[in-house]
A and B are shown apart, each in its own frame.
Chain A
Amino acid sequence: MKINVAEADNALKNKPLYSTAYERIKYLAEARHLFDDLPQPLKFSRTLRYLLSRVSVPVKEYDIIIGRACDKVLSESEEALFKEFVADPSNAYRSGVFFGSGHSSYDWEDIVDLGLLGLKSRAISRLSGETDNEKIVFLTAVIEVYDCISEYILRYADSCEKVGLTDAAKVLRKISAEKPDTFYEAVELTYIIAFINCSYVTLNPTLTLGRIDVFLYPFYERDIKRGILTKERAKDIITDYYCKHNLNMGRGEHQLGDENDSTTFERITNFDAPQYLLLAGTDKNGESAVNELTELFAECIVPSFKNPVVLVRYFIGMNEKHPSLLKTLVNKALKSSSLMFYNDNDVIAALMRMGLKEDAREYIHFGCNWSSPGTKGAWMHGGPSSFAFCPEMSEDEKTYFYLRRPYMRTLNDGGWPECFNEILFSFAESSDESCCIERFFDAYMKKWSEFVSEKLEYLSCELKMRRRHPSRLLVYTDCFLKDSINLAECYAASAKYHFEAQSFYMFATVVDCFLAVDELVFTKKLVTLKELAEAVKNNFEGNERLRQMCVSAEKYGSDGEKSNAFAKRLITAATDIVFEQSKPYFEKYGLYLAPSLQSDTWHIKCGREYGATPDGRKAGQPFSQNSRPSNGSCINGLTGMLDSMLSVPAGSVMSGALNLDVDKKAFAGEEGNKNFADLLAAYFNAGGLHAQVSCVSKEDLVAAQKNPEAYKDLRVRVTGYSGIFVDFCKSLQDDIIARF
């Protein structure tokens, strides 16, 4: 297994940044106009077959899990084709043959239960008697997809036989035709279905691999009982499963790439966005779902790997019920593994508050950091690509949607501190003497409420458009969702749930702005509203003393009574609005806004573009990130920060990453592991929402910035994923250093 780990490790560190899966480009370029006369579902299945029947099927003699992507650095002529393909509106990704903006999951339990043959039989039986021509086309294409996957698997079986991998060949022949019986077969089937999506079908492979310890456990348990599997062999299978996910991954910085040297979705066709798998958590009765496989998947995590991101569903009392599992996880977390924790008690409560019932308990997670209800095909809005799911938009509709989208995005992507400034400037302008922090609060909530209301209306219009012709579009995800097959409709139109995050971007910056205005203007009266507004407008030029006063005001993250109380009040009011306004849409369409504190890396990009803010932040500086307090605010240590974070009431938000940056000296050795387990368990048992750990030292980060070659293995957590520090753009590196 060492060679497999070393190979994946090397690929992560040294794969050329601009390599790409050329075969995908080459064959999709050839297939561009071959199926122009067919409706989209058949165009999709035929194009996929064209591709999968031609791409290489390489194996190495040490492979356990089969399925390798083939990236390479392009020659001049290949580069020319690549560029021409990417720019061509008729290419499979841009013309609507292959749709996918990631952020989805499949009915994994169903997949391993039925196998490809069972899935096909179900589609055939659904097809019989169907009279709607669009549904017939939809289902026919689905069947073709299953067939071409089977053929592709058989091609791999041939490759295996050629190098003497007879066991793997047997597994592949079996799952190409029948349902899996063994643990190995089930793992391989889930892997290859995911692999096709991530390496060939979608530009954004942020696929969620589901509650893998739960749906694979029956296979594991049965094999162990039958004596045909040992724990050690299971660990090898899992480790190679992890290896292959890393090996296939592109190297680059996707959402981080906001500087000139960034890579792109197009370049990294099997892209640097990770897949996600879930471990632990509670079952439908609220009892622990942890089993022996949970432990094995945790033990096999390789700290230097980036993929898949392991998401642990913590639940209150897990530390006492499963101490050895927590010990393993903490040990991995302190090595900065690609691992994060979410609290079942928070996420389930929030989903239930939205109106979900049993599906809330089966929640999973979509990358980068979005809780999703159940594994049964929730549709998550993914920015402008949502339009692609609306076949046949009229010109009027296009105008309506394109006009509003920029407004939506501005506030979605980081306009909430800017919104505070607007209110500050307008109150300062009005010279209203009765102005007080309550008026600020009301004005702010009014803007928030109007935005939430407009967004829901907008999203429901978009959904209605998608529902006009629900069977005219087929995406890969549909083939693996029971509901899509039963309805013969695309899940973008017919999923049980449709959601988009309503994120309170840069939450801590906004809280700090309120606190500074309240303290300096209204409480201590050290400055007038007008003076503060002027200073902010002028980026505090010539008024550094005032800026320092703003910086010195109490900040969220310091565990101060005032900042904690205000953060609680602000997030409670904002999320109450989201829940309340979502309700009618949820009841009617299953559509809702998911309250969140996720900001991804927008805090850097938006910060760079925005002016100064009353918290003392100068123009161009980053805002606060995700659910985390602003850099430099956590003056009372990690516990002080966590206490502040506990001000966000459990059940109010569904997602929001907390980057716990830990100085490696503070939690070194076995004693350090124990201390960190205490810290983490105390935080989650008190209702903490999320945590992901980067355990490095500031000195290492600074040294890495100066000497990137020597620090190719320095990994840090970013948002829902981790990355190699030296691959990040300079501004993100600076921001991460400032977190310490």
Chain B
Amino acid sequence: METLVSHIERCSTFDGPGIRTVVFLKGCPLKCKWCHNPELISFEKEELFYPEKCIKCGGCKEGCYSGARVTVGKIMSVDEIVKEVEKDMRFYVRGGATISGGEPLSHGEFLKKLIPALKSKGVNVGVETSLYRYDEEILRLFDVIMADIKIFDDELHKEYVGVGVKGILDNFLAADKLGVPIIVRTPVIAGVNDDEENVKKTSQFAKSLKNAVRYELLPYHSAGVKKALALNKPQAIFAAPTDEKLELLKKYTF
């Protein structure tokens, strides 16, 4: 079985406990205006073009070597991914693999094969999901679920993400019944969701979940802007919260 993978990143320390290999699956149903990985929204292969790297050699058809034209998206099989993840087996003392995206749960059938294959090798498997979709059969297979509550207000969520938050919160409540540890996260964007009230409510909701082991704040970064430009789909630039603001909000994390 195969699916469209954008890339696989080794030695991540930001995507779950321990040292992890992150498998980024391509395609996402949400449209977050600040998306960090805009090249992962489409379910198709895409080309990024960075004009500043172009050496104008005229050899585009034969292949670009300068890094100006980069194709995102590679069809990979379960075995190929497992082989890649296995490379860091010796380093996964408390870590493992994290399936990320895009929205991994959009690749449901594939995950039903991939997760058991990884687990059969003794790999701890986590997921980074928006929980916009819910699939109990898949979610219960994970060792840890990392999911966002981006904005607690339904209307505002709709405005910035394209869909309301209510369904997502319901999915959190459902996922909480699976007994899988949940890490709740909020990407913090200045002027959008960095007000204390939003974080406080999110934190309270997170605390109400039996299996929520942590609530984290992830400050906005502008990495998506350059990639969106390279896709010719320009993105609005947001700002990260100030250090002081972040410090203030941190009291709601656990």
Show the binding face of A for B, using Cβ within 8 Å.
544-545, 548-549, 551-552, 559, 636-640, 642-643, 666-667, 671-672, 674-675, 678-679, 681-683, 685-686
Contacts and interface: CB of A to CB of B under 8 A. Distances in A.
B87 A559 contact: yes
Given A637-B10, A640-B11, A678 B94 contact: yes
A686 B13 contact: no
A640 B12 CA distance: 11
A637 B65 contact: no
A674 B59 CA distance: 47
A675 B18 contact: yes
Contacts of A666: 13-14
12 contacts: A559-B87, A636-B11, A637-B11, A639-B88, A643-B87, A643-B88, A671-B13, A674-B18, A678-B93, A678-B95, A679-B11, A685-B90
A682 B55 contact: no
B66 interface: yes
B8 to A, nearest CB: 9
Contacts of B90: 682, 685-686
The 4 closest A-B pairs by CB, nearest first: A637-B11, A548-B65, A545-B57, A678-B93
Interface in B2-29: 9-14, 17-19
Contacts of B67: 548
B14 A679 contact: no
A637 B9 contact: yes
Given A637-B11, A640-B10, A678-B91, 10 more contacts: A545-B55, A545-B66, A548-B67, A559-B87, A637-B10, A674-B18, A678-B93, A678-B95, A679-B11, A681-B93
Chain A binding surface, main DSSP class = helix
Given A559-B87, A637-B9, A675-B95, A545 B65 contact: yes
B86 to A, nearest CB: 11
A548 B66 contact: yes
A365 B57 CA distance: 51
A90 to B, nearest CB: 58
Interface of B: 9-14, 17-19, 55, 57, 59, 65-67, 87-88, 90-91, 93-95
A708 B57 CA distance: 40
Contacts of B12: 637
Given A551-B65, A678-B93, A672 B59 contact: no
A507 to B, nearest CB: 22
Contacts of A551: 65
Contact of A638 (B11, B55, B59, B66): B11
Contacts of A642: 91
A559 B66 CA distance: 21
A656 to B, nearest CB: 21
A636 B22 CA distance: 11
B10 to A, nearest CB: 4
B202 to A, nearest CB: 22
Contact of A678 (B14, B18, B57): B18
Nearest to A638: B11
A667 B19 CA distance: 10
B104 to A, nearest CB: 20
Contacts of A681: 93
A429 B67 CA distance: 32
Contacts of B13: 666-667, 671-672, 675
Contacts of B59: 545
B186 to A, nearest CB: 18
Contacts of A671: 13, 17
B55 A548 contact: yes
A552 to B, nearest CB: 5
Contact of A549 (B14, B65, B87, B94): B65
Contacts of B57: 544-545, 548
Nearest to A543: B57
Nearest to B17: A671
A678 B19 contact: yes
Contacts of B93: 678, 681-682
A642 B90 CA distance: 11
Contacts of A640: 10-11, 87
Nearest to A548: B65
A671 to B, nearest CB: 8
B19 A639 contact: yes
Contacts of B95: 675, 678
Contacts of B17: 671
B14 A639 contact: no
A686 B67 CA distance: 34
Nearest to A642: B91
B128 to A, nearest CB: 17
Contacts of B11: 636-640, 679
A675 B19 contact: yes
A682 B88 CA distance: 10
Contacts of B66: 544-545, 548
Nearest to B56: A544
A674 B94 contact: yes
Centre residue among B88, B91, B94 by max chain A CB count within 10 A:
B91
B53 to A, nearest CB: 9
B120 to A, nearest CB: 21
Contacts of A675: 13, 18-19, 94-95
A549 B90 CA distance: 33
A521 to B, nearest CB: 15
Q: Which of A548, A638, A667, A686 has the most CB of B within 10 A?
A: A548
Contacts of B19: 639, 675, 678-679
A489 to B, nearest CB: 49
Nearest to A678: B93
Contacts of A637: 9-12
A552 B12 CA distance: 24
B101 to A, nearest CB: 19
A672 B19 CA distance: 9
A552 B65 contact: yes
